[in-house]
Amino acid sequence: MRSGARHVMERLTGLIALVLVACAFQVAGAAEKNDQQRKNVLLICVDDLRPELACFGASYIHSPHIDALAAEGTAFLRHYVQAPTCGASRFAMLTGRYGPAGNMALFERAKQIRDGRENGEARAVPPSMPAWFRRHGYTTVSVGKVSHHPGGRGGPDWDDPAQPEMPDSWDRHLLPAGAWQHPRGWMHGLANGEIRGDAKAMDVFQSFDGDDTAYPDGDSVNEALRQLDQLVSDADRPFFLAVGILRPHLPFGAPARYMEPYRDADLPPIPHPHKPAGKTTWHGSGEFMKYNRWGRDPNSDADFATEVRRHYAACVTFADAQVGRLMQRLKESGADGNTVVVLWGDHGWHLGEHAIWGKHALFEESLRSPLVIRSPHAPRPGSQSSAVVESIDVFPTLCDLAGIEPPDFPHGVSLATLVNDGSEEGHSAIAYTGNASTIRTPTHRLILHKDGHVELYDHRTAAGETENLAASHPDLVAELTAQLKGRLAHR
């Protein structure tokens, strides 16, 4: 090669090298900027929480801390879960997908992952929401009841590390059982370490004059605060912290001071308190009725029904106080300005509507629960959305708001635009049990039983879900049935 040509080539090579170095610095700078823009996530899951809070319109409920969270974010007034039971509802929220109807859904999924590994097909099962955040550089921690079992494990006492409910999801998944000995005892515990053995010997409600640590949530939230401090101190990595609050789950036990606002409170009448006529998903409230009720039945004893409702309300206020502790520590840490907070109820709970005391039905009271999303610097703090949304929407929403790549496998859709610009456009909501499924639109609910029986209710009428209109609206039944089957075809 001639010397002149060689000189030109050397200069070109040098220029290319400089360009590559500059590009590398730009890419590194962009990546660093992206890391700085990614937001932390605090996900608060509350068990059996009705949308009966002051910020949702229930003025007789004392929920100041959840109300304060809603004043900083968006309250979704028509949020619906995928199943009226803990495990299946949490499965859907944590995976963003419709799934099995039973409480063992998470363990079934864990088995699929293990089987996939053995067959060299580990990617056959889509990752959970915490696993997705973990893949994107987050430290993921759960404390309390986040998946089905408190602490997220199986085994006789729900503490077997070889049986995770959500493999590959958590860097740490914790349940300090304290005086309740193990997660199973914690889950059904009353004051000072009382563990449920024979449910008939355990009171259905209780109000003990002690501090918060007299009940299971006190210890677990203390651990959540320790974990939050540790996560905030690790400034090199964003965090995804999920905290499960047990109350107001049965039995209804809370420190006595949370009962004080309700001892003489006048509660509104129970709407539609009678057992429905015809075939429905009504049940006999077995989970509630198996506890010691001192020989009383709230369906026939109005005074006892009021006592039950007051103790449930006390548990809600106790749970609200735990939310307040978490939010106060987040603010004290300085991380609140870069943390998305979600408060989510895993399903509703009947307090006498349709003569049910519990969940497990496909009525509105079992399926509607609170959802509050607080995104830092959102332009519309304190807004309320009347859009119909679902729990499976939480996964893609958190990806959008946290600033990480959204996956393509969730069945849900992002609610970020509803949080940021106030759009009221939602979508119909799907839910299911083992024997029936349902679709909720802004105006109607259709319930389709496995044997073909159909219920149709019009929420624009005072009768609500007490008058089955299916026989007089065959076209709407056909339309909603097709939508329902289409949405569930690939679960």
Domain with CATH 3.30.1120.10 in the chain: 435-491
DSSP string, 89-151: HHHHHHHTS---SSTTHHHHHHHHHHHHHHTT-GGGSPPPHHHHHHHTT-EEEEEESSSSSTT
Sign of CA dihedral 50, 53, 56, 59: positive
Residue 198: phi and psi, rounded to 5, are -85, 115
Q: Tell me the residue length of the chain.
A: 491
Q: What is the DSSP letter of 156?
A: T
Distance CA(333)–CA(384), nearest Å, equals 28
Residue 421 has what pLDDT? 81
Q: What is the DSSP letter of 236?
A: T
Which residue has 């060299």 as its token pair? 120
Domain with CATH 3.40.720.10 in the chain: 37-427
CATH code of the domain occupying 435-491: 3.30.1120.10
Residue 190 has what pLDDT? 98
Assigned architecture for domain 37-427: 3-Layer(aba) Sandwich (3.40)
Show the low-confidence residues of the chain (pLDDT under 70).
1-36, 117-123
Peptide bond into 127 cis (omega under 30): no
- Reduced to 3 states (helix: H, G, I; strand: E, B; else coil), residue 408 is coil
Cα–Cα distances in Å, from 458 out to 15, 93, 307, 355, 473? 71, 27, 32, 20, 11
Residue 23 has what pLDDT? 38
Q: Residue 316: name the closest of 67, 145, 43, 75 by CA.
A: 67
| pLDDT tens figures, 243-270 | 999 999 999 999 999 999 999 999 999 9
Distance CA(344)–CA(74), nearest Å, equals 12
Distance CA(75)–CA(382), nearest Å, equals 8
| pLDDT tens figures, 310-355 | 999 999 999 999 999 999 999 999 999 999 999 999 999 999 999 9
Residue 37 has what pLDDT? 78
Cα–Cα distances in Å, from 6 out to 2, 15, 19, 20, 469? 6, 14, 20, 21, 87
Residue 113 has what pLDDT? 76
Residue 293 has what pLDDT? 98
